[in-house]
Structures are given as C-alpha cells and as structure tokens.
Amino acid sequence: MSWERQISIKSSRELEIMRVAGQINAEALQAASDAAIPGATTADLNAAAEAVLKKHGVISPFYKYPGAYPYPTSTTVSVNEELVHGIPGSRILKEGDIVSIDCGAFYEGFVADSAITVPVGHISNLAQKLLDVTEKSLYVGIEKMVVGNRVGDVSFAIQDYVENQGFFVTREYTGHGVGREMHEGPQVPNYGTPGRGLLLRPGMTIALEPMVLVGTPATRVLKDQWTVISFDRSLTAHFEHSVAVTENGPMILTLLENNEKPGRKKVEKV
Ligand code: MG
Ligand code: MG
C-alpha cells in the first residue's frame, strides 16, 4: 500500500457533507453495537449496520475494498484477539467478549470512517480497562489535532497514554487522511515523536484510530487474508473517529447529533 497519497484540504461546505456522512456512520455503529448481545453472530452486527446505511441510501467504502480479494461486506467485525478487519460471519458472540465494529459511509462523494469496541454482556476488569484506555487514547490524540501541531504530536500522545497504562499500540496499522477516498494522506501512526511529521492545517480531515493490544504490539493475518489478530492472541480494542482540523480546534465528524458516543446507551430526552 503506497502512502504517497494526496492530502486534501476541505472547504467548510465539504466538512458539512462529511459531518452528515459521519452522522450516518455513527448511527450504523450504534445499531451494530445494540445488536452485540450473547448469541448474536458477527454477521448480525454487520446486517444491523447495513440496514442503517441502506435506509440513508449510502454504501460503505469497505465493500469491495481491494486486498488479497475484494472485501466482502460493509463493516469489519473483530472479536477479542481480532484487532481489525474481521469479516462478519457465523462467529457467535458470547458473554464476556469484546467486539470491535468498524464502518464507513460514502455520502455525496465523501467518506466517514469510524469504529468502536463494545462489551458483550458482562466483561472482565481487564477487558473493561482495555476499552476505557483505548477510547481515552483516541480523545487524547484528538486533543492534539490543532493547527500548528504536527502528526508526531498526535501519534506520540496516543502511544504515551496507552503505554503508561501498560498496553501496546500496533506498529503495522495506522490512522489516515480521509475525504473523497477512505484512505488519503497523511498516514497517522499510533506511535511517534513530538514535533515531527507533517504540520496540521485547517481543513485537513484525519481518521484517527488507536488499535491497542494487551500483550504484545505484534500482529498476524489469518488465512482469510483479512483478519488481523494479536500475535499472542491477547485481547485487543479499536476506536476511531474522523476528525477535522479547524481554526477553532478539532471537530469530530463521526459523533451522533446529540453528541452521544456511538455504542453507548441512549440518554433519555426529558
Ligand atoms: Mg475504520
Ligand atoms: Mg480508518
């Protein structure tokens, strides 16, 4: 995969379109996470997300994404040791699992890309800590997405937070620019050096996505040629938002309209 990719600067109008794409994506993730109950299959979660995309008349950029063979579904659903790119299918979720759902939405020529990891029923203290640390690391990184900072400031913030909590970040998969294409420049690793790398400018949009592992930073790919697992089969988690760099600070494009985080229980409106 070449990372000599174009970096695109979006206008405020284009950011509005991406925000709509992001809303749809967040709604799809919410539906998939609501379906993550013991006894459900990973295909059930994909179906729940796909129903939302279909309702809005959008497709996922994941579908037919080029790889060893075209990616077969609209989402990736990755359980426990599966870090990313799990293909939804017959795997049955059981109490205590954690499941990562990654989805994309193509809307009026722009892509939103976001992911969450959610518990299936009651989970272990270690699994809960992993979810908390991974989600927090995403927000720690987003806070650094301000004009004048560099990619290395964002990357380092994620790595530093995660490693101080005793977990590992992957070296092999990274965040990325997002816009008319799902994967644009710049590449944004989850590890790095402060003050290094590309300068962040207003109108850049980046899919920031910490991928965190309990036992090792090493991964391997399963025989299906897509699913990435932790090398030691320890637990993993993945959170992602598409975020714009603006003069007014980072703007998360993939939050639900009421600012509710995808994957969390809905707050009753009074
Ligand atoms: Mg994604
Ligand atoms: Mg991504």
Residue spans of beta strands (DSSP E) within 11-66: none
Higher pLDDT, 113 or 260: 113
pLDDT over 60 at 3, yes or no: no
Share of the chain above pLDDT 70, in %: 94
Q: What is the pLDDT of residue 268?
A: 38
> Mean pLDDT over residues 37-56, rounded?
98
pLDDT over 90 at 1, yes or no: no
Ligand 2 centroid – CA 229 distance (Å):
17
**β-pair partners for 48:** none
Q: What is the pLDDT of residue 5?
A: 79
**β-pair partners for 213:** 168, 236
Quickly state the pLDDT bin for 256 (edges 50, 70, 90). Answer: confident
| Residue 234, amino acid | S
Higher pLDDT, 269 or 30: 30
Considering the chain, what is the average pLDDT of its residues? 94
> Mean pLDDT over residues 58-71, rounded?
97
Q: Which helix (H) or strand (E) holds 126?
A: helix 125-143
Ligand 1 centroid – CA 242 distance (Å):
9
Ligand 1 centroid – CA 33 distance (Å):
15
**β-pair partners for 168:** 213
**β-pair partners for 112:** 105
Tokens (6 digits) for 147: 């004009």
Q: Which helix (H) or strand (E) holds 76?
A: strand 75-79
CA 58, CA 83: separation in Å to the nearest integer? 26
Helix, strand or coil, per DSSP, at residue 161: helix
**pLDDT tens by residue, 122-152:** 999 999 999 999 999 999 999 999 999 999 9
Tokens (6 digits) for 112: 């939103």
* pTM of the complete model: 0.94
Q: Which domains does the chain have, with CATH numbers?
A: 3-252 (3.90.230.10)
Report which bound ligand comes closest to the CA of 174. 2
Q: What is the pLDDT of residue 257?
A: 74
> Mean pLDDT over residues 46-65, rounded?
98
Q: What is the pLDDT of residue 264?
A: 43
Q: What is the pLDDT of residue 14?
A: 98
pLDDT over 50 at 215, yes or no: yes
Ligand 1 centroid – CA 269 distance (Å):
30
Ligand 1 centroid – CA 177 distance (Å):
11
- Contacts of residue 120, defined as CB under 8 A and 6 or more positions apart, other chains included, come to 36, 37, 38, 93, 94, 95, 96, 97, 98, 99
